[in-house]
Chain A
């Protein structure tokens, strides 16, 4: 492979790819860290459970790597995850004095003004797609453990339709982001599964 091909074809994708991968890692660790108690009961193996107290610094480290690779992607994707992570607390007054939906709105507006509306909307749609697919897959388990889940709240068909609409809009806005975010979501899950399984083997 010549250097020209690398710089023309690979490099423009490498930075966003790394941003997606590390943002996904940071979000996954943070999310799982918060879910650790019940995850432990249902036997779900996660990085967060392995890392325990170290989960927070490692999540921040992963996010900083994502920012180095492609700051706008990293921050807009992370903020989108942050906002959607509050879906169970939309009406609740949070420590900053805002309700969940107000915090999400403020983040969306800041993101739009700072980085542009197209990149913001595409990031939010990408995260929505990943989260909705996750909810569709985990609906039964989430129902049992009480984790927030759109498929439980709206119904499987409704969530499925919303996901398809999000994918269609996103493919018009930024198809590369759709592909990279989906690909890296599966990659992060795959890496985590291999790592925790390996850990199990060594410990077992």
Chain B
């Protein structure tokens, strides 16, 4: 039986990969066995420490992730453990990007999203009011929420809560996406991870 997938989805530069690495660390994964699947190519597996993964896979430029990156996790919780695949995906864009590789990577993300048991939709809460920024909440976030709302196991992760603008951003996210569970987190400082863990646990 294939593992249930917990997919992290969201716009480019909102912190999806940083969250995936730090959440795996929070769930006591000491070494990350990451399966990389670039669009249209075969899967290859690499073993990285948290530090190596942070250095190699995260950064400040958008579209660092162009393909699927899966980490198998055995999550300790109430009465035992549950296994799942934490799936990091390529960032979504507001319009149609010029780069073919970005469009292919986004199509790959969307091909998987329908199969995922859990969708963690990440929004940059600190980008509130910066409509020009690539990571600012936009139409695509609203549409992801509409799609996610049709199924079980959908939650919004309001990331970058460590930044001062994020409190206002969180209020805005809650106002614009009513009826959805919005979990405030900081992928960088690992805050709010207990809530995410419980949400994931309940849907496995």
SS class, residues of chain B in contact with chain A: mixed
Asked if B153 is an interface residue, CB under 8 A from chain A, the answer is yes
Complex alpha-carbon distance, A95 and B155, angstroms = 29
Q: Contact: A38 with B199, CB < 8 Å?
A: yes
Chain B: CB-nearest residue to A145: B181
Q: Contact: B179 with A144, CB < 8 Å?
A: yes
Q: Contact: B152 with A37, CB < 8 Å?
A: no
Contact among B153, B179, B182 for A146, CB-based, below 8 A: B153
Please tell me the number of chain B residues within 8 Å of chain A, measured between CB atoms. 20
Asked if A92 is an interface residue, CB under 8 A from chain B, the answer is yes
Across-interface contacts of B197 in A (CB, < 8 A): 37
Complex alpha-carbon distance, A147 and B82, angstroms = 16
- Take A88-B202, A145-B181, A147-B202 as given contacts and tell me if A40 and B78 are in contact as well, using a CB distance cutoff of 8 Å: no
Asked if A143 is an interface residue, CB under 8 A from chain B, the answer is yes
Across-interface contacts of A42 in B (CB, < 8 A): 181
SS class, residues of chain A in contact with chain B: helix
Across-interface contacts of A88 in B (CB, < 8 A): 202
- Take A37-B197, A41-B183, A41-B195 as given contacts and tell me if A148 and B80 are in contact as well, using a CB distance cutoff of 8 Å: no
Q: Contact: A95 with B79, CB < 8 Å?
A: yes
Number of A-B contacts (CB under 8 A): 42
Rounded to whole Å, the gap between the CB of A43 and the closest CB of chain B is 11
Contact among B78, B80, B195 for A34, CB-based, below 8 A: B78
Asked if A68 is an interface residue, CB under 8 A from chain B, the answer is no
Q: Contact: B180 with A38, CB < 8 Å?
A: no
Complex alpha-carbon distance, A88 and B180, angstroms = 22
- Take A92-B80, A95-B79, A144-B180 as given contacts and tell me if A40 and B195 are in contact as well, using a CB distance cutoff of 8 Å: yes
B interface list, Cβ under 8 A from A? 78-80, 82, 152-153, 155, 179-184, 194-195, 197-199, 202-203
* Given pairs A38-B181, A144-B181, 19 additional interface contacts (CB within 8 A): A34-B78, A35-B198, A37-B197, A38-B195, A38-B199, A41-B183, A41-B184, A41-B195, A42-B181, A92-B80, A93-B80, A95-B79, A143-B152, A144-B179, A144-B180, A145-B199, A145-B202, A146-B155, A148-B202
Closest 8 CB pairs of A and B: A146-B202, A37-B195, A37-B194, A37-B198, A144-B181, A94-B79, A146-B203, A95-B80
